[in-house]
Amino acid sequence: MLYYPLSLGRSVPELLRVFERLQFHAREKLATSVNWTPGAPAVYPAPTNQEALGKCPKEDGGKPNLKAWWLKTTS
């Protein structure tokens, strides 16, 4: 459901864009950027806390470096 004030008007192309991206995400489990087009690289979703802790580079002493972050896209 999309909700915004009636005074803003509606854009059918924007609604179709949203539906297309939602269907893509449901099918592929990938995220899309604002100007994404079909066939362009998509973004892997952010990892869960446990996944992130497992993938973070380790500091001296084996403690995860929580400041390390990455953006992973498809090719």
- Is CATH 3.30.70 the classification given to domain 12-75? no
Higher pLDDT, 10 or 46: 10
For residue 63, name the pLDDT band (cuts at 50, 70, 90).
Answer: confident
Q: What is the mean pLDDT of residues 21-36?
A: 91
> Which pLDDT score, from 0 to 100, does residue 40 have?
92
Q: What is the mean pLDDT of residues 65-75?
A: 65
pLDDT averaged over every residue in the chain: 81
- Asked whether the beta carbons of 30 and 43 are under 8 A apart, the reply is yes
Residue type at 71 in one-letter notation: L
pLDDT at 68 over 60: no
Residue type at 5 in one-letter notation: P
